[in-house]
Amino acid sequence: MPKEQANWSPYDNNGGSCFAVAGADYCVIAADTRMSTGYNILTRDTQKSVNYKCVMASSGFQADVKALQKHLAARHLIYQHQHNKQMSCPAMAQLLSNTLYYKRFFPYYSFNVLGGLDNEGKGCVFTYDAVGSYEKVGYSSQGSGSTLIMPFLDNQLKSPSPLLLPARDAVTPLAEAEAIDLVKTVFASASERDIYTGDKLEIVVINADGIRREYMDLRKD
C-alpha cells in the first residue's frame, strides 16, 4: 500500500534574501523587505531583521521567523536581568544555534545570518541552517537569492580557504562605505533574476558608534 501523504504542510516559503558581511571594525547586515507566497506578494514592506547588540536577519517562513525572533527576545531579556548587560554577539550566536536545534524534529523554517561586533570590536558574521548548524564566517547570504549572491561574493571578497593552516581571518579588508556599496550592488543584481527578492532593501550597519539603518529601493516587479 503506498504511503499516505499529508494534504497540507505546516510550512510555507515567504521568499526573500538576507546577507551579512564582516569588516575590520564594522558589520553590515542586509535583507530585502518583500514577503511572498507562491507567485503572489503579501507585502512589500516587512522587516526581516531584528536588533540586539547584534543583528539577526532571516528568510524563509516568516511565521517561524517571527516566532524565533520573539523567543530570542525573551531569552535576551532574561539574560539582561541576570547579567546586567546585553548579550555579546558570540553568546547570541550560540543561543540561536541551541534554540534552533531544540526544535530539531519540527524545525523553525528560518534561514538566518547573525552579524555584530565581537568582544574586540571586530566584525563577525555567523551563518545558520534551519536546525542550528552554525559557523563564523566573513560573509554569508541566505534565502531565495543566496544562490545568486554567494558566488558573486566568493569572487569579490576572495575568502581564504577554510583548509588553510594557520586559520586565516575571513574578515574583509574593505572599508565600510565600500562594503555598503557592495551590498547594494549585490541586491540590485539578485532582484533582477530572483522573483522573490525586491521592493526595498534594508541595510543595518553596526560599528563602534552604534547601530544605524538605511533603506534603498529595489525593483518592484
Question: With binding defined as CB under 8 A, does residue 51 bind other proteins?
Answer: no
C-alpha–C-alpha distance, residues 21 and 61, integer Å: 23
Which of 66/122 has CB closer to other proteins? 66
Q: Are 128 and 100 in contact (CB under 8 A)?
A: yes
- Provide the minimum distance between the beta carbon of 52 and other proteins in the complex, in angstroms, as a whole number: 15
Q: Are 190 and 149 in contact (CB under 8 A)?
A: yes
For residue 166, cis peptide bond before it (omega within 30 degrees of 0): yes
- Provide the minimum distance between the beta carbon of 53 and other proteins in the complex, in angstroms, as a whole number: 17
Which of 77/177 has CB closer to other proteins? 77
Cell of residue 90, nine digits: 558570540
Question: With binding defined as CB under 8 A, does residue 74 bind other proteins?
Answer: yes
Question: With binding defined as CB under 8 A, does residue 77 bind other proteins?
Answer: yes
- Provide the minimum distance between the beta carbon of 102 and other proteins in the complex, in angstroms, as a whole number: 16
By residue count, the chain amounts to 221
Q: Which stretch binds other proteins (CB under 8 A): 31-39, 73-81, 110-118, 180-188?
A: 73-81
Of these, 43, 45, 51, 70, which contacts other proteins (CB under 8 A)? 70
**Which class for 81: exposed (0-12), middle (13-18), buried (19 or more C-beta within 10 A)?**
exposed
C-alpha–C-alpha distance, residues 196 and 203, integer Å: 18
- Provide the minimum distance between the beta carbon of 24 and other proteins in the complex, in angstroms, as a whole number: 29
Q: Are 65 and 110 in contact (CB under 8 A)?
A: yes
- Provide the minimum distance between the beta carbon of 144 and other proteins in the complex, in angstroms, as a whole number: 28
Residues that bind other proteins (CB under 8 A): 70, 74, 77-78, 81, 84
